[in-house]
Amino acid sequence: MASQALSMAVESVRTLFEGDPVTRKQVSFSIAIIALSAKMAKADGVVTVDEVVAFQELFEVPRDEAKHVARVFDLAKQDVAGFEAYAAQVKRLFPDDDDILRDVIDGLFHIAKADGLIHQNEFDFVDRVADIFRMDPRVFQGIKLRHVRPAEGDPYLILGASSDWDNETLKKQYRKLVKENHPDRMLARGIPEEFMKIANDRLAGINQAWDHICKEREI
């Protein structure tokens, strides 16, 4: 029953947005993220106020659409079942866009840690989504470290680098990541403005990892 109600709610949101294929693609993406976010919040057995707030930080929707989005979220958060289908939908929408898939993983971690603790079921949830996205394990591990242990995590892994690289190669990698993850560039890729918090958090993690390497190497 809940699953049928969720499907109906999803369709009610989708029909609000008729128009060009790009718009429909963005709407489908947003719906999938809303459902994934709700099920992520439910993964540890209970949806906390902090997790709802974290979701709202990522999806500050227009007032006239808020009730529809809230209904999708409320129905999706009733259980975890079906989350793999939404993850697969995102992968189908952006099969070769690793940046957007990484944004989604970042967003899920943002919600998972909102209550101060990432439960093992939440780790398993995000791990499974990353598998469906066919994400490079090293890339996923770098994202995970940035959220779980930003201070003591491997700074080279966070930068997608190796401790064997020389200083100049490391600098090029750092500058490349800063450029790729600048909020303006994310907006240019068509990422919703609500995801700018993810961009800012990611950039902060990159800078923190670089500062750690600079101190270690006395660059």
Is residue 125's pLDDT more than 70? yes
Is residue 219's pLDDT more than 90? no
Tokens 């394990």 sit on residue: 137
Instruction: Classify domain 141-219 by CATH number.
Output: 1.10.287
pLDDT (mean) for 126-135: 94
pLDDT (mean) for 165-184: 89
Q: Which 3 state secondary structure label does DSSP give 164? A: coil
Is residue 176's pLDDT more than 60? yes
Q: Residue 6 has what pLDDT?
A: 44
Distance CA 67, CA 177 (A): 37
In the chain, where are the structural domains located?
1-135, 141-219
DSSP H helix total and E strand total for the chain: 12, 0
| Token reading at 48 | 């906390």
pTM above 0.75, yes or no: no
Distance CA 155, CA 110 (A): 19
Q: Residue 189 has what pLDDT?
A: 63
Q: Residue 169 has what pLDDT?
A: 95
- Among 63-72, 148-157, 182-191, 196-205, whose mean pLDDT is lowest? 63-72
Higher pLDDT, 181 or 15: 181
Instruction: Classify domain 1-135 by CATH number.
Output: 1.10.3680
- The CA–CA distances, whole Å, from 177 to 71, 159, 174, 196 equal 37, 8, 5, 16
